[in-house]
Amino acid sequence: MKNSPLLEICVETLDAALAAERGGADRIELCENLRVGGVTPSVELMRAVRAQIHIPVFAMIRPRSGTFCYSAREFKQMASDLATAKECGMEGVVLGVLRKNRQVDVERTRALVDLAPPLPVTFHRAFDETPNLLDALENVISTRAARILTSGGKPSAEQGNVVISKLVRVAGRRVAILAGGGIDGLNLERLARVTCAQEFHSGLSSTLPYPRTDYVVFEAAVRNMSEVLKKYSIRKTSTGALD
């Protein structure tokens, strides 16, 4: 049984997904066009990844880049894409809907969460664009989403580590906090220690910029992060707490 925090790796190709799994990732977030933050992957990509990857795969549900306030047509497309992700064997979906005032659109998000079972829903970093993260936390909890991906409202998790720590405390067991944003092998242990989060997300974009073609290097970077979390967990278990 795995005791160390979970490592989710964001990818946009089958080759990257395979490298991430070989490197020790616990879960894949599957997108296309990561240059714009990721959009819904194609049916072909979802099926190819599901056929060859053995760890859980969560699909992004985002019809376009830009804002997270969607038209009625775009929202209908999100619902359709969610159903497609289920048909393709995805184990979870990643989405987020905001109002024009950048607050969580509770009604629309809940409607998508209600369509998702048995798949859990991650509310993505649209969360970080909200004007009050503690209010947004309660709003997302009310939608029954399973987790929130956040950098603590800052450009990176390193900058938002104190806020992430507070979100972890306030959330308790009501929703999982998935820390993400600029995380790599160099800052991961510090973030684990400071935030007390149990899940971490990385696309390694700050370490390995796009276009990404060297999957040996990518695999090694993922393996480094996986080992960092394992060693952190061992030290924490043996000492009871980390200084």
Written as six digits, the tokens of 167 are 């979100």
Q: Is residue 96, in this structure, part of any structural domain at all? A: yes
pLDDT on residue 213: 75
pLDDT at 234: 87
Model pLDDT, residue 207: 73
Residue 192 lies in a domain: yes
- The tens-digit pLDDT sequence of the chain (243 residues) is 467 899 999 999 999 999 999 999 999 999 999 989 999 999 999 999 999 999 999 999 999 999 999 999 999 999 999 999 999 999 999 999 999 999 999 999 999 999 999 999 999 999 999 999 999 999 999 999 999 999 999 999 999 999 999 999 999 999 999 999 999 999 999 999 999 999 999 999 877 766 677 899 999 999 999 999 999 998 887 766 544
Which segments of 124-175 are extended strands (E)? Answer: 147-150
How far apart, in whole angstroms, are the C-alpha atoms of residue 12 and residue 33?
A: 7
Whole-number Å distance between alpha carbons of 131 and 110: 20
Q: Is 44 within the bounds of a domain?
A: yes
Region of 25 (left: φ > 0; alpha: ψ -120 to 50; beta: rest) is: beta
Residue 1 counted as domain residue:
no
Rounded to whole angstroms, the Cα distance separating 24 from 229 reads 11
Tell me which residue range forms the domain holding 220: 6-239
Say if residues 226 and 24 touch (Cβ distance below 8 Å). Answer: yes
CATH number at residue 157: 3.20.20.380
**Predicted TM-score of the model (pTM):** 0.94
**For residue 7, what are the β-bridge partners?**
200
pLDDT at 1: 44
In the chain, the number of structural domains is 1
- What is the reported pLDDT for 243? 43
pLDDT at 240: 62
Predicted pLDDT of residue 4:
87
